[in-house]
Protein backbone atom coordinates (compact mmCIF):
# COMPACT_ATOMS: atom_id res chain seq x y z
CA UNK A 1 0.00 0.00 0.00
CA UNK A 2 2.93 2.32 0.65
CA UNK A 3 4.31 1.63 -2.82
CA UNK A 4 0.94 2.14 -4.52
CA UNK A 5 0.60 5.58 -2.97
CA UNK A 6 3.96 6.66 -4.36
CA UNK A 7 3.12 5.17 -7.78
CA UNK A 8 -0.18 7.11 -7.89
CA UNK A 9 1.63 10.32 -6.99
CA UNK A 10 4.20 9.79 -9.74
CA UNK A 11 1.49 8.93 -12.29
CA UNK A 12 -0.09 12.31 -11.63
CA UNK A 13 3.24 13.98 -12.36
CA UNK A 14 3.67 12.27 -15.73
CA UNK A 15 0.07 12.47 -16.89
CA UNK A 16 0.28 16.25 -16.63
CA UNK A 17 3.74 16.36 -18.25
CA UNK A 18 2.56 14.41 -21.28
CA UNK A 19 -0.77 16.22 -21.65
CA UNK A 20 0.33 19.77 -20.82
CA UNK A 21 1.33 20.89 -24.35
CA UNK A 22 -2.16 19.92 -25.55
CA UNK A 23 -3.74 21.53 -22.48
CA UNK A 24 -1.95 24.83 -23.16
CA UNK A 25 -3.00 24.70 -26.81
CA UNK A 26 -6.64 24.07 -25.79
CA UNK A 27 -7.21 26.38 -22.82
CA UNK A 28 -4.24 28.75 -23.11
CA UNK A 29 -1.72 29.78 -20.47
CA UNK A 30 1.63 28.89 -22.12
CA UNK A 31 3.43 31.45 -19.94
CA UNK A 32 2.21 29.46 -16.91
CA UNK A 33 3.53 26.19 -18.31
CA UNK A 34 6.11 25.61 -15.58
CA UNK A 35 3.56 26.60 -12.92
CA UNK A 36 1.62 23.37 -13.49
CA UNK A 37 4.63 21.62 -11.97
CA UNK A 38 5.58 24.33 -9.48
CA UNK A 39 2.09 24.58 -7.94
CA UNK A 40 1.79 20.80 -7.75
CA UNK A 41 5.15 20.39 -6.06
CA UNK A 42 4.63 23.38 -3.75
CA UNK A 43 1.35 21.88 -2.54
CA UNK A 44 3.12 18.55 -2.09
CA UNK A 45 5.57 20.31 0.24
CA UNK A 46 2.64 21.55 2.32
CA UNK A 47 1.12 18.07 2.43
CA UNK A 48 4.38 16.41 3.35
CA UNK A 49 5.06 18.77 6.24
CA UNK A 50 1.64 17.99 7.75
CA UNK A 51 2.16 14.22 7.75
CA UNK A 52 3.36 13.94 11.36
CA UNK A 53 0.30 15.84 12.64
CA UNK A 54 -2.17 14.00 10.39
CA UNK A 55 -0.69 10.59 11.19
CA UNK A 56 -0.59 11.32 14.90
CA UNK A 57 -4.20 12.48 15.05
CA UNK A 58 -5.83 10.19 12.51
CA UNK A 59 -3.73 7.02 12.47
CA UNK A 60 -2.46 5.19 9.40
CA UNK A 61 -5.79 4.25 7.84
CA UNK A 62 -7.55 7.61 8.01
CA UNK A 63 -4.39 9.50 7.06
CA UNK A 64 -3.98 7.31 3.97
CA UNK A 65 -7.61 7.80 2.97
CA UNK A 66 -7.42 11.56 3.47
CA UNK A 67 -4.32 11.75 1.29
CA UNK A 68 -5.61 9.59 -1.55
CA UNK A 69 -9.04 11.27 -1.39
CA UNK A 70 -7.40 14.67 -1.86
CA UNK A 71 -5.66 13.34 -4.94
CA UNK A 72 -9.05 12.26 -6.31
CA UNK A 73 -10.72 15.63 -5.66
CA UNK A 74 -7.86 17.52 -7.27
CA UNK A 75 -7.98 15.22 -10.29
CA UNK A 76 -11.68 15.98 -10.81
CA UNK A 77 -10.99 19.74 -10.68
CA UNK A 78 -8.19 19.40 -13.24
CA UNK A 79 -10.40 17.30 -15.53
CA UNK A 80 -13.12 19.98 -15.50
CA UNK A 81 -10.79 22.99 -15.86
CA UNK A 82 -11.97 25.58 -18.44
CA UNK A 83 -8.79 27.67 -18.12
CA UNK A 84 -5.22 27.30 -16.90
CA UNK A 85 -5.81 28.98 -13.48
CA UNK A 86 -8.51 26.39 -12.67
CA UNK A 87 -6.21 23.60 -13.79
CA UNK A 88 -3.56 25.02 -11.45
CA UNK A 89 -6.11 24.92 -8.60
CA UNK A 90 -6.72 21.24 -9.33
CA UNK A 91 -3.00 20.58 -9.45
CA UNK A 92 -2.67 22.27 -6.06
CA UNK A 93 -5.21 19.92 -4.45
CA UNK A 94 -3.63 16.94 -6.21
CA UNK A 95 -0.22 17.95 -4.93
CA UNK A 96 -1.49 18.40 -1.39
CA UNK A 97 -2.73 14.80 -1.28
CA UNK A 98 0.26 13.50 -3.22
CA UNK A 99 2.74 15.11 -0.84
CA UNK A 100 0.92 13.55 2.11
CA UNK A 101 1.02 10.14 0.39
CA UNK A 102 4.69 10.54 -0.41
CA UNK A 103 5.69 11.53 3.12
CA UNK A 104 3.49 8.80 4.60
CA UNK A 105 5.57 6.28 2.66
CA UNK A 106 8.73 7.21 4.57
CA UNK A 107 6.89 7.34 7.90
CA UNK A 108 5.26 3.94 7.39
CA UNK A 109 8.58 2.36 6.45
CA UNK A 110 10.01 3.59 9.73
CA UNK A 111 6.99 2.37 11.71
CA UNK A 112 6.45 -1.01 10.05
CA UNK A 113 9.86 -2.35 8.99
CA UNK A 114 13.09 -3.31 10.74
CA UNK A 115 16.00 -0.91 10.35
CA UNK A 116 17.95 -3.47 8.30
CA UNK A 117 15.24 -3.32 5.62
CA UNK A 118 15.21 0.45 5.25
CA UNK A 119 17.68 0.66 2.30
CA UNK A 120 15.62 -1.89 0.35
CA UNK A 121 12.35 -0.14 1.20
CA UNK A 122 13.78 3.20 0.09
CA UNK A 123 14.91 1.63 -3.17
CA UNK A 124 11.40 0.22 -3.71
CA UNK A 125 9.79 3.60 -3.01
CA UNK A 126 12.21 5.26 -5.42
CA UNK A 127 11.55 2.57 -8.04
CA UNK A 128 7.79 3.11 -7.79
CA UNK A 129 8.30 6.26 -9.82
CA UNK A 130 8.91 3.83 -12.66
CA UNK A 131 5.29 2.63 -12.44
CA UNK A 132 4.01 6.18 -12.82
CA UNK A 133 6.64 6.71 -15.48
CA UNK A 134 4.98 4.22 -17.79
CA UNK A 135 1.34 4.66 -16.76
CA UNK A 136 1.36 8.48 -16.75
CA UNK A 137 2.58 9.14 -20.30
CA UNK A 138 0.44 6.30 -21.63
CA UNK A 139 -2.69 7.99 -20.26
CA UNK A 140 -1.69 11.61 -20.78
CA UNK A 141 -0.10 11.13 -24.18
CA UNK A 142 -2.75 8.80 -25.62
CA UNK A 143 -5.72 10.97 -24.67
CA UNK A 144 -3.90 14.16 -25.70
CA UNK A 145 -3.22 12.60 -29.10
CA UNK A 146 -6.93 11.80 -29.40
CA UNK A 147 -7.83 15.39 -28.50
CA UNK A 148 -9.40 14.30 -25.20
CA UNK A 149 -6.78 15.20 -22.60
CA UNK A 150 -9.45 15.53 -19.87
CA UNK A 151 -10.08 11.78 -19.99
CA UNK A 152 -6.49 11.21 -18.86
CA UNK A 153 -7.39 12.78 -15.52
CA UNK A 154 -10.78 11.09 -15.28
CA UNK A 155 -9.22 7.63 -15.53
CA UNK A 156 -7.44 8.17 -12.18
CA UNK A 157 -10.62 8.92 -10.23
CA UNK A 158 -11.81 5.27 -9.95
CA UNK A 159 -8.29 4.25 -8.90
CA UNK A 160 -8.32 6.71 -6.01
CA UNK A 161 -11.74 5.46 -4.91
CA UNK A 162 -10.70 1.80 -4.97
CA UNK A 163 -7.55 2.33 -2.96
CA UNK A 164 -9.23 4.71 -0.51
CA UNK A 165 -11.80 2.02 0.33
CA UNK A 166 -9.96 -1.28 -0.13
CA UNK A 167 -6.37 -0.13 0.24
CA UNK A 168 -6.99 1.92 3.36
CA UNK A 169 -8.55 -1.10 5.03
CA UNK A 170 -5.23 -2.95 4.70
CA UNK A 171 -3.53 -0.52 7.10
CA UNK A 172 -3.88 -0.55 10.93
CA UNK A 173 -6.63 1.79 12.09
CA UNK A 174 -4.69 3.33 14.99
CA UNK A 175 -1.14 2.68 13.83
CA UNK A 176 1.01 5.76 14.34
CA UNK A 177 -1.65 7.56 16.38
CA UNK A 178 -0.37 9.72 19.25
CA UNK A 179 -2.15 11.11 22.26
CA UNK A 180 -0.78 14.61 21.72
CA UNK A 181 0.66 14.96 18.21
CA UNK A 182 2.74 18.03 17.56
CA UNK A 183 1.02 20.79 15.55
CA UNK A 184 2.37 21.42 12.05
CA UNK A 185 5.20 23.95 11.77
CA UNK A 186 3.11 26.61 10.07
CA UNK A 187 5.65 29.43 10.33
CA UNK A 188 8.40 27.36 8.74
CA UNK A 189 6.10 26.06 6.02
CA UNK A 190 4.94 29.61 5.30
CA UNK A 191 8.45 31.02 4.92
CA UNK A 192 9.66 28.13 2.76
CA UNK A 193 6.48 28.11 0.66
CA UNK A 194 6.45 31.86 0.05
CA UNK A 195 10.10 31.77 -1.03
CA UNK A 196 9.26 29.14 -3.66
CA UNK A 197 6.16 31.04 -4.83
CA UNK A 198 8.09 34.31 -5.14
CA UNK A 199 10.68 32.53 -7.26
CA UNK A 200 7.93 30.97 -9.35
CA UNK A 201 6.09 34.27 -9.87
CA UNK A 202 9.28 35.94 -11.07
CA UNK A 203 9.99 33.08 -13.47
CA UNK A 204 6.91 33.92 -15.57
CA UNK A 205 8.43 37.23 -16.67
CA UNK A 206 10.81 37.58 -19.62
CA UNK A 207 12.40 40.68 -18.06
CA UNK A 208 15.81 40.04 -16.47
CA UNK A 209 15.27 42.68 -13.79
CA UNK A 210 12.12 40.93 -12.57
CA UNK A 211 13.89 37.55 -12.54
CA UNK A 212 16.88 38.87 -10.62
CA UNK A 213 14.61 40.64 -8.13
CA UNK A 214 12.55 37.51 -7.63
CA UNK A 215 15.65 35.36 -7.06
CA UNK A 216 17.01 37.89 -4.53
CA UNK A 217 13.68 38.04 -2.66
CA UNK A 218 13.39 34.25 -2.63
CA UNK A 219 16.96 33.92 -1.34
CA UNK A 220 16.20 36.37 1.48
CA UNK A 221 13.06 34.46 2.47
CA UNK A 222 14.99 31.19 2.35
CA UNK A 223 17.65 32.65 4.67
CA UNK A 224 14.90 33.77 7.05
CA UNK A 225 13.48 30.26 6.98
CA UNK A 226 16.84 28.74 7.89
CA UNK A 227 17.24 31.23 10.75
CA UNK A 228 13.75 30.33 11.96
CA UNK A 229 14.52 26.61 11.75
CA UNK A 230 17.64 27.06 13.85
CA UNK A 231 15.80 28.60 16.82
CA UNK A 232 12.28 27.17 16.76
CA UNK A 233 10.99 24.00 18.41
CA UNK A 234 8.46 23.36 15.60
CA UNK A 235 10.75 22.80 12.68
CA UNK A 236 10.81 21.09 9.30
CA UNK A 237 14.39 19.89 9.69
CA UNK A 238 15.92 17.89 12.56
CA UNK A 239 17.94 19.85 15.12
CA UNK A 240 20.98 17.80 14.03
CA UNK A 241 20.92 19.80 10.76
CA UNK A 242 22.48 22.71 12.63
CA UNK A 243 25.06 20.69 14.57
CA UNK A 244 28.62 22.08 14.39
CA UNK A 245 29.95 19.17 12.30
CA UNK A 246 27.34 19.86 9.57
CA UNK A 247 27.15 16.24 8.36
CA UNK A 248 23.39 16.25 7.97
CA UNK A 249 23.34 19.75 6.53
CA UNK A 250 25.56 18.78 3.60
CA UNK A 251 23.52 15.67 2.88
CA UNK A 252 20.49 17.93 2.45
CA UNK A 253 22.49 20.27 0.20
CA UNK A 254 23.45 17.36 -2.04
CA UNK A 255 19.80 16.22 -2.20
CA UNK A 256 18.58 19.68 -3.17
CA UNK A 257 21.23 20.06 -5.86
CA UNK A 258 20.33 16.70 -7.39
CA UNK A 259 16.74 17.88 -7.73
CA UNK A 260 17.95 20.99 -9.58
CA UNK A 261 19.76 18.69 -12.02
CA UNK A 262 16.45 17.26 -13.23
CA UNK A 263 14.83 20.68 -13.87
CA UNK A 264 14.80 20.12 -17.69
CA UNK A 265 12.36 17.23 -17.12
CA UNK A 266 9.49 19.75 -16.88
CA UNK A 267 9.96 20.71 -20.53
CA UNK A 268 10.82 17.34 -22.11
CA UNK A 269 7.39 16.75 -23.65
CA UNK A 270 7.13 20.29 -25.01
CA UNK A 271 10.60 20.24 -26.57
CA UNK A 272 9.91 16.79 -28.01
CA UNK A 273 6.74 17.94 -29.76
CA UNK A 274 8.01 21.36 -30.85
CA UNK A 275 11.58 20.51 -31.86
CA UNK A 276 11.63 16.83 -32.72
CA UNK A 277 8.08 16.73 -34.13
CA UNK A 278 6.94 13.89 -31.89
CA UNK A 279 3.31 13.05 -31.18
CA UNK A 280 2.01 13.72 -27.65
CA UNK A 281 2.29 10.02 -26.79
CA UNK A 282 5.85 9.68 -28.11
CA UNK A 283 6.93 12.94 -26.46
CA UNK A 284 5.40 11.77 -23.20
CA UNK A 285 7.39 8.57 -23.30
CA UNK A 286 10.55 10.44 -24.20
CA UNK A 287 10.02 12.22 -20.91
CA UNK A 288 10.05 8.90 -19.04
CA UNK A 289 13.69 8.21 -19.88
CA UNK A 290 14.89 10.18 -16.86
CA UNK A 291 12.53 8.45 -14.45
CA UNK A 292 13.36 5.07 -15.99
CA UNK A 293 17.06 5.67 -15.35
CA UNK A 294 16.29 6.78 -11.79
CA UNK A 295 14.16 3.71 -11.03
CA UNK A 296 16.56 1.26 -12.64
CA UNK A 297 19.53 2.69 -10.75
CA UNK A 298 17.63 2.62 -7.45
CA UNK A 299 16.81 -1.07 -7.85
CA UNK A 300 20.28 -1.98 -9.08
CA UNK A 301 22.31 -0.15 -6.44
CA UNK A 302 20.00 0.30 -3.44
CA UNK A 303 21.48 -2.56 -1.40
CA UNK A 304 25.11 -2.06 -2.44
CA UNK A 305 27.77 -1.78 0.24
CA UNK A 306 29.90 0.56 -1.91
CA UNK A 307 28.10 3.67 -0.78
CA UNK A 308 31.02 6.07 -1.17
CA UNK A 309 31.82 4.93 -4.71
CA UNK A 310 28.19 5.21 -5.74
CA UNK A 311 27.78 8.66 -4.23
CA UNK A 312 30.85 10.19 -5.85
CA UNK A 313 30.29 8.46 -9.18
CA UNK A 314 26.65 9.51 -9.52
CA UNK A 315 27.25 13.22 -10.35
CA UNK A 316 29.70 12.17 -13.05
CA UNK A 317 27.01 10.02 -14.68
CA UNK A 318 24.52 12.90 -14.48
CA UNK A 319 27.07 15.28 -16.00
CA UNK A 320 27.67 12.83 -18.87
CA UNK A 321 23.95 12.83 -19.65
CA UNK A 322 23.77 16.62 -19.62
CA UNK A 323 26.85 16.89 -21.85
CA UNK A 324 25.05 14.68 -24.36
CA UNK A 325 21.86 16.76 -24.18
CA UNK A 326 23.56 20.12 -24.77
CA UNK A 327 24.28 19.48 -28.49
CA UNK A 328 21.40 17.15 -29.40
CA UNK A 329 18.51 18.33 -27.19
CA UNK A 330 17.91 21.65 -29.03
CA UNK A 331 18.07 20.08 -32.52
CA UNK A 332 15.04 20.63 -34.75
CA UNK A 333 15.25 17.10 -36.07
CA UNK A 334 13.10 14.03 -35.52
CA UNK A 335 15.51 11.34 -36.71
CA UNK A 336 15.85 8.09 -34.80
CA UNK A 337 19.48 8.81 -33.87
CA UNK A 338 18.56 12.20 -32.38
CA UNK A 339 15.64 10.77 -30.39
CA UNK A 340 17.80 7.90 -29.12
CA UNK A 341 20.56 10.31 -28.07
CA UNK A 342 18.09 12.52 -26.18
CA UNK A 343 16.58 9.50 -24.44
CA UNK A 344 20.05 8.23 -23.50
CA UNK A 345 21.01 11.65 -22.13
CA UNK A 346 17.96 11.82 -19.89
CA UNK A 347 18.39 8.19 -18.80
CA UNK A 348 21.98 8.94 -17.72
CA UNK A 349 20.81 11.99 -15.77
CA UNK A 350 18.21 9.83 -14.04
CA UNK A 351 20.69 7.01 -13.41
CA UNK A 352 23.04 9.40 -11.64
CA UNK A 353 20.28 10.73 -9.41
CA UNK A 354 18.79 7.28 -8.76
CA UNK A 355 22.19 5.90 -7.77
CA UNK A 356 22.77 8.60 -5.17
CA UNK A 357 19.27 9.03 -3.76
CA UNK A 358 18.82 5.82 -1.70
CA UNK A 359 22.33 6.29 -0.31
CA UNK A 360 21.57 9.88 0.71
CA UNK A 361 18.23 8.90 2.29
CA UNK A 362 19.85 6.12 4.27
CA UNK A 363 22.62 8.51 5.27
CA UNK A 364 20.09 11.01 6.64
CA UNK A 365 18.20 8.38 8.63
CA UNK A 366 21.44 6.96 10.00
CA UNK A 367 22.82 10.36 11.02
CA UNK A 368 19.74 11.66 12.84
CA UNK A 369 19.33 10.70 16.54
CA UNK A 370 16.57 8.25 17.46
CA UNK A 371 14.31 10.95 18.85
CA UNK A 372 14.17 12.76 15.51
CA UNK A 373 13.67 9.81 13.14
CA UNK A 374 10.06 10.74 12.32
CA UNK A 375 11.00 14.33 11.54
CA UNK A 376 13.92 13.08 9.45
CA UNK A 377 11.55 11.07 7.24
CA UNK A 378 9.38 14.13 6.68
CA UNK A 379 12.40 16.35 6.06
CA UNK A 380 13.58 14.15 3.17
CA UNK A 381 10.30 14.73 1.35
CA UNK A 382 10.35 18.44 2.21
CA UNK A 383 13.83 18.91 0.77
CA UNK A 384 13.06 16.87 -2.33
CA UNK A 385 9.79 18.59 -3.16
CA UNK A 386 10.90 22.13 -2.30
CA UNK A 387 14.03 21.73 -4.44
CA UNK A 388 11.95 20.27 -7.28
CA UNK A 389 9.59 23.26 -7.15
CA UNK A 390 12.52 25.65 -7.06
CA UNK A 391 14.13 23.83 -9.98
CA UNK A 392 10.94 24.11 -12.03
CA UNK A 393 10.75 27.82 -11.24
CA UNK A 394 14.40 28.45 -12.11
CA UNK A 395 13.98 26.42 -15.29
CA UNK A 396 10.90 28.47 -16.16
CA UNK A 397 12.86 31.70 -15.68
CA UNK A 398 15.68 30.45 -17.89
CA UNK A 399 13.45 29.37 -20.78
CA UNK A 400 11.27 32.49 -20.64
CA UNK A 401 14.36 34.70 -20.80
CA UNK A 402 15.65 32.59 -23.70
CA UNK A 403 12.52 33.04 -25.85
CA UNK A 404 10.16 30.26 -24.78
CA UNK A 405 7.08 32.48 -25.23
CA UNK A 406 8.62 35.33 -27.26
CA UNK A 407 9.26 34.52 -30.08
CA UNK A 408 7.94 31.08 -29.10
CA UNK A 409 7.46 28.29 -31.63
CA UNK A 410 10.43 26.34 -32.95
CA UNK A 411 12.88 29.25 -32.66
CA UNK A 412 11.90 29.92 -29.05
CA UNK A 413 11.99 26.24 -28.11
CA UNK A 414 15.45 25.86 -29.66
CA UNK A 415 17.02 28.76 -27.78
CA UNK A 416 15.18 27.83 -24.56
CA UNK A 417 16.39 24.21 -24.68
CA UNK A 418 19.99 25.23 -25.34
CA UNK A 419 20.00 27.74 -22.47
CA UNK A 420 18.37 25.30 -20.04
CA UNK A 421 20.77 22.42 -20.73
CA UNK A 422 23.83 24.68 -20.52
CA UNK A 423 22.68 26.17 -17.21
CA UNK A 424 22.01 22.74 -15.70
CA UNK A 425 25.57 21.63 -16.46
CA UNK A 426 26.73 23.71 -13.49
CA UNK A 427 24.91 21.43 -11.03
CA UNK A 428 26.98 18.16 -10.99
CA UNK A 429 30.23 19.88 -9.90
CA UNK A 430 28.32 21.51 -7.03
CA UNK A 431 26.95 18.11 -5.99
CA UNK A 432 30.47 16.68 -5.93
CA UNK A 433 31.68 19.59 -3.81
CA UNK A 434 28.83 19.14 -1.31
CA UNK A 435 29.51 15.40 -1.03
CA UNK A 436 33.22 16.01 -0.51
CA UNK A 437 32.55 18.45 2.34
CA UNK A 438 30.05 16.05 3.92
CA UNK A 439 32.46 13.10 3.72
CA UNK A 440 35.31 15.10 5.26
CA UNK A 441 33.16 16.27 8.16
CA UNK A 442 31.70 12.79 8.72
CA UNK A 443 35.19 11.29 9.00
CA UNK A 444 36.25 14.04 11.41
CA UNK A 445 33.19 13.34 13.57
CA UNK A 446 33.96 9.60 13.55
CA UNK A 447 37.53 10.28 14.71
CA UNK A 448 36.26 12.47 17.54
CA UNK A 449 33.74 9.80 18.59
CA UNK A 450 36.42 7.08 18.63
CA UNK A 451 38.74 9.30 20.63
CA UNK A 452 35.98 10.08 23.12
CA UNK A 453 35.14 6.38 23.41
CA UNK A 454 38.79 5.53 24.09
CA UNK A 455 39.03 8.14 26.83
CA UNK A 456 35.81 6.81 28.38
CA UNK A 457 37.18 3.27 28.44
CA UNK A 458 40.41 4.42 30.08
CA UNK A 459 38.44 6.31 32.75
CA UNK A 460 36.29 3.25 33.43
CA UNK A 461 39.38 1.03 33.76
Residues in the chain, total: 461
Domains in the chain and their CATH numbers? Answer: 2-460 (1.20.1250.20)
Alpha carbon distance 378, 96 (integer Å): 14
Q: Which one-letter DSSP state was computed for residue 438?
A: H
Alpha carbon distance 393, 122 (integer Å): 27
Is 454 a residue whose pLDDT tops 70?
A: no
Average pLDDT over residues 76-91: 93
Report the mean per-residue pLDDT for the chain. 85
pTM assigned to the model = 0.78
Coil vs helix vs strand at 212:
helix
Give tens-digit pLDDT for 138-189.
Answer: 788 888 888 888 998 998 899 888 888 887 777 887 777 777 777 778 888 8
* 212: Cβ contacts below 8 Å, ≥ 6 apart: none
The pLDDT of residue 123: 76
Average pLDDT over residues 102-114: 80
Categorize the per-residue pLDDT at 253 as very low, low, confident or very high, splitting at 50, 70 and 90.
very high
Other CB atoms within 10 A of residue 227 CB: 11
The pLDDT of residue 458: 64
Q: What percent of the chain has pLDDT over 90?
A: 28
Q: Among 334, 335, 329, 253, which Cα is nearest to 290's?
A: 329
Amino acid sequence: MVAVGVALHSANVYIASAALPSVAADIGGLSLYAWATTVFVFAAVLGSTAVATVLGRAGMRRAYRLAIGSVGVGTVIAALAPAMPVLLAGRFVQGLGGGLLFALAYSLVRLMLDRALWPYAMSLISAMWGVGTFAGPALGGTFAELGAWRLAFWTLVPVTLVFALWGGARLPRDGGRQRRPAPPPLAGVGLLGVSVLVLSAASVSARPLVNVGGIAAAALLFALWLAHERRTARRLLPAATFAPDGRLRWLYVAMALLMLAIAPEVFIAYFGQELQGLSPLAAGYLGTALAFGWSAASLATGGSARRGLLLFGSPLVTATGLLLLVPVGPLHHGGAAVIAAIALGYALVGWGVGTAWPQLVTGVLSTVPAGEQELAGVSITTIQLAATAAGAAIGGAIVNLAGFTDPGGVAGAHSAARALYLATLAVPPLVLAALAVQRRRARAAERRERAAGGRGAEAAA
